[in-house]
Structures are given as C-alpha cells and as structure tokens.
Amino acid sequence: MTDNELDRMMRHVLLDSLRIDEAFEKEEADPFVPSRKHKRQMRDMLNDPIKWLRNKTKPVWKAAVQKIAVILLIALLSFGSMMAVSPTVRAAVIRWVTEWYETHITYRYSGEQITDEMPQYEITDLPEGYIEDESKRIEWPEYISFTFYNPNKENDQRIIFDYAYMSQGGASDFVTEDTEVISVTVNDLEGQLFLEKDWENTRSTLTWIDAERNLQFTLMAALNETDILNIAESVSLVKMTK
C-alpha cells in the first residue's frame, strides 16, 4: 500500500468516526452546545484529518521545546528592547567591540561616561636601571600615561605604560603591519600582544582589558614576549577611587 493510499484510507476512517460521534450526540437527551474551540477543531479535522491527527499525536517533548523556544524568543526581544532604550543596561553588556582591519585593530568603546577619579596603578617590576620621566606624565580625567627610561643607556627605547576608561565615543588603534598578533592573558585578563618583528629596536605593544573596572591598559616596550608580559603582570593597583 502506498503512502497516498494509506492517507486516503485514514481520511475515510476519521470521517466515518466523526459522523458516528455526531450521530451519537444527536441522540443524547441533553442538547450539546459546542464551544468556539470545539467548532474550530471540528473544522480543522474535516478540512484535513491527516494533518489534524499528526498535530494531535505530536510528541510531548516537541511541544515543550516549542514553548521554551517561544519563551526564550520573548525574553531576548525584551532584553534587546531594554538595551536599545537603556544606556546603563547596554553598557553592562557591551563595553567595547574589536574591529579587525588589514593594517590595524580598533577597540571601540560603548561604556557609559565615567565621572569618578581615576584609580592609580604602577609598574612594580621595571627592568633594572629604569626610572620614570616625570616630565612625560599625563594625568587626564579618563587617561593616565607614564614614561620610563634608562639614563645609563644611549638611544634607549623608552617604556610607556598607560590606561584609560572605556567610555562612549572613545577608541584605541593598534597597528598590525610587521607584527605578530598573539592572544595573551595578564593576571587572568584577556589581551593582545602586537610583537614587532624587529622587537629589539622597535617597541612592541601589549594591551589588556579589565572589564570589571572598565579599563584598558597598554604597555609599549622594545622587549621580547616573556619580558613584556612580566612587566605587565607586575602592574598593581596603588589607590582606588572613593
């Protein structure tokens, strides 16, 4: 028996069953007043008995999965609406995006504007002989930068350490030409090392993000991967904002 023949036979069986049920109901003493739902189901059964039967015999787990999917969809749509109208919710979810280009990488910030005083960090393990060049220090409301040098070396490649709040409208660019881009962690924080091919004579750049404090750190030094990571991991919080 083919599938079409089986469908036709099932259709006849279902229709006959419906007719018997209808005749039995007419014989009942109490009149039966069908509800809208009952009428709709009867209409669906008469129009396509096979489809109605398949829907009624659908496994319970499929129906449950469909309900869960609907609930998740509603939740996602509601959360998306909250992100669209609430800068605070959006900032809590998306602090930055990373845009990759052929010659550079851009970190574009979308966090809320920070008005607190900047926390104070310092490098506790500088290479031997290095001191800060205080004339190069920069202290802005959302950006701090330190420059270190070795006065005993001629043509010394300076070490630059800075950090900034990730606030709406801000961005940082990092050149990737002639560099090896290496994913790293600094004190359990994710980051990227842009290691120069000629790292002994050219400063490489290491950047990492502290999402909890909404800060991006950057360290530039003419050092190999191990040494620049050691310096970065010695960065310590000296004074927190009130």
Q: What is the pTM of this model?
A: 0.60
* CB burial readout 192-230, b (16+ within 10 A) else e: bbbbbeebeeebbbbbbbbeebbbbbbbbbbbeeeebbe
Domain ranges of the chain: 3-84, 95-239
pLDDT digits (tens, 9 = 90+) for 219-230: 999 999 999 999
- The count of residues in the chain is 242
Taking residue 127's Cβ as centre, other Cβ atoms within 10 Å add up to: 14
Cβ neighbours of residue 165 closer than 8 Å, sequence gap 6 or more: 111, 114, 118, 142, 143, 214, 215
The fold for domain 95-239 equals: Phosphorylase Kinase; domain 1 (3.30.200)
- Pick from 158, 156, 161: which is nearest to 138 by CA? 161
If you average pLDDT over every residue of the chain, what do you get?
76
Mean pLDDT is lowest, of 3-7, 34-38, 183-187, for: 3-7
